Amino acid sequence: MSKPEPGDAAQGAPGEVKLSKASVNRFSLYLRRLERFLSDGVQKVSSSQLGEALGFTDAQVRKDLAYLGSLGQPGIGYNVSELIAALRRGLGTDREWLAVVVGVGNLARALLRYKGFGRQGFRFVALFDADREKIGRTIEGLKIHSMEDMAKVVAETGAELAVLAVPIEAAQSAAEHIAAAGLRGMLNFAPTVLKGLPENFRIVNVDLAVQLEQLAFYVHLTDTKERT
Amino acid sequence: MSKPEPGDAAQGAPGEVKLSKASVNRFSLYLRRLERFLSDGVQKVSSSQLGEALGFTDAQVRKDLAYLGSLGQPGIGYNVSELIAALRRGLGTDREWLAVVVGVGNLARALLRYKGFGRQGFRFVALFDADREKIGRTIEGLKIHSMEDMAKVVAETGAELAVLAVPIEAAQSAAEHIAAAGLRGMLNFAPTVLKGLPENFRIVNVDLAVQLEQLAFYVHLTDTKERT
């Protein structure tokens, strides 16, 4: 039923990963919702309760969670804390991930100051820019390196992930540099589709317009309500 | 089945809007996927094809799309262009939305230069900041106004949406200002939950860490694969 089409897996190695982008989105939603259940003092949850809270079918929830191994007990449900731990293990966020930022403009500065990343186990360890003027400077305690030094710095720091925050016209070439430097995946903030990168290099595209679209939708719904 | 819990509707007026956050997410995903079908030359699509492409059940897709009115023909499916138009009408993104940015720091500058918003019908018309030093300056062609002038400027420009891009400690007070100024909804980039805002004021929280988490997950999956 949820056999994904190649194009819906994360950009990179379509055939390899058998989870669609939608499945990964659902895992994130499960995790967020379970964290809220826990903070509300809820200790046990059934697949139908979790599904109902998120708008998924019971069957979908059970199928997704089965991917994490056998966790729930029939008629009793899931232990919330255990399920959170299993999701974190499954998602790979039970450990620290080191990341670099490529392109040190306004977005990079904003991201470096963003409190949410550290909380979820992500730590920035180095910055890169093509602009000779910026190289050697320090921002938020991190040194800006040249693009040419990326492979060396990545090897030294053990960074695995990159955040691409360059202007749209510099995105393709910077992305190729990142993939060649030994980084394993990249969060792409440039609103463009990147091409020809290695199969095992992962890309997640961030489309900030989608969020604004959702806000417009909620406001629009109010209009529709008022008219009826 | 997908009757949402109050807390899962957009923050603001829980009981009023009968669509869960997950439903709205699905509408956005349908729209993106259909746009890709169209650019690939696909003109007809069935609910099961659309569901399969996104990892949703056929029943879920039909139920969601029924919300837009009767569009599909049994045994034939949906006309892709018509479905896109209906989704845009349904989502309220078939028209231009005017927005303001509150808090003119690095994130605001990055957002103002972000190409994706204009493409989806969003236009920024004014900026606001509490810092006396910044007020009166112009950034990307837009003037920075004082927080006190917000209601006046909102009335003059006809802006409906706000993007909150202030530091976490200034978020609650700025949000109250925004709601009081006649704006109808807000995209909140501050990683904090805002409280006590009017029932009909809509909030969409943007959690940038979720995207990095998804990237980590894809990279983690590669590890798991390699180990087996």
Q: Residue A194 has what pLDDT?
A: 84
Per-residue pLDDT of chain B (228 residues; tens, 9 = 90+): 333 333 333 333 333 345 666 677 788 888 888 988 998 899 999 998 888 887 778 888 888 888 887 777 777 889 999 999 998 888 888 889 999 999 999 889 989 988 778 877 899 999 999 999 999 999 999 999 999 999 999 999 999 999 999 988 899 999 999 999 999 999 998 877 788 899 899 998 887 777 888 888 888 877 766 554
Q: Is the pLDDT assigned to residue A221 strictly greater than 90?
A: no
ipTM of the complex: 0.77
CA neighbor of A56 nearest in space, from B4, B127, B118, B125: B4
Measured in degrees and rounded to the nearest 5, phi and psi for residue B24 equal -65, -40
Residue with tokens 């417009």: A216
Q: Is the pLDDT assigned to residue A89 strictly greater than 70?
A: yes
Q: Residue A27 has what pLDDT?
A: 85
Query: How far is the alpha carbon of B136 from chain A, nearest alpha carbon, in Å?
Result: 21
Share of chain A above pLDDT 70, in %: 88
> Per residue in A171-212, pLDDT tens?
999 999 999 999 999 999 887 778 889 989 999 888 777 788
**Is residue A182 a contact partner of residue A155, using CB atoms and an 8 Å limit?**
yes
pTM reported for the whole predicted model? 0.73
> Which residues in chain B are contacts of A209 at CB distance < 8 A?
114, 116-117, 119-120, 122
Q: Residue B91 has what pLDDT?
A: 82
Query: How far is the alpha carbon of A148 from chain B, nearest alpha carbon, in Å?
Result: 24
Task: Residue window 105-124, chain B: list those with CB within 8 Å of chain A.
Answer: 105-107, 109-111, 113-117, 119-120, 122
Cβ distance of A55 and B213 shorter than 8 Å: no
Task: Residue window 22-81, chain B: list those with CB within 8 Å of chain A.
Answer: 22-29, 32-33, 36, 51-60
Q: Residue B208 has what pLDDT?
A: 79
**Is residue B183 a contact partner of residue B206, using CB atoms and an 8 Å limit?**
no
Least confident of A66-80, A93-107, B29-43, B197-211: A66-80
> Which residues in chain B are contacts of A13 at CB distance < 8 A?
222
Q: Residue A92 has what pLDDT?
A: 85
Which residue of chain B comes nearest to A51, CA vs CA?
Answer: B2
Reported as a pLDDT band with limits 50, 70 and 90, residue A19 is low
Higher pLDDT, A153 or B8: A153
> Which residues in chain A are contacts of B185 at CB distance < 8 A?
215-216, 218-219
Cα separation, B113 vs A64, whole angstroms: 38
CA atoms in the 13 A half-sphere facing the CB of B87: 26
State the first-to-last Cα distance of chain B, in angstroms, to the nearest integer: 37
> Per residue in A115-146, pLDDT tens?
778 877 899 999 999 999 999 999 999 999 99
Share of chain A above pLDDT 90, in %: 42
Mean pLDDT over all residues of chain A?
A: 84
Query: How far is the alpha carbon of B180 from chain A, nearest alpha carbon, in Å?
Result: 16
Cα separation, A22 vs B22, whole angstroms: 11
> Which residues in chain B are contacts of A216 at CB distance < 8 A?
91-93, 97, 122, 161, 185
Hey, what are B94's tokens?
Answer: 């078939």
Cβ distance of A115 and B7 shorter than 8 Å: no
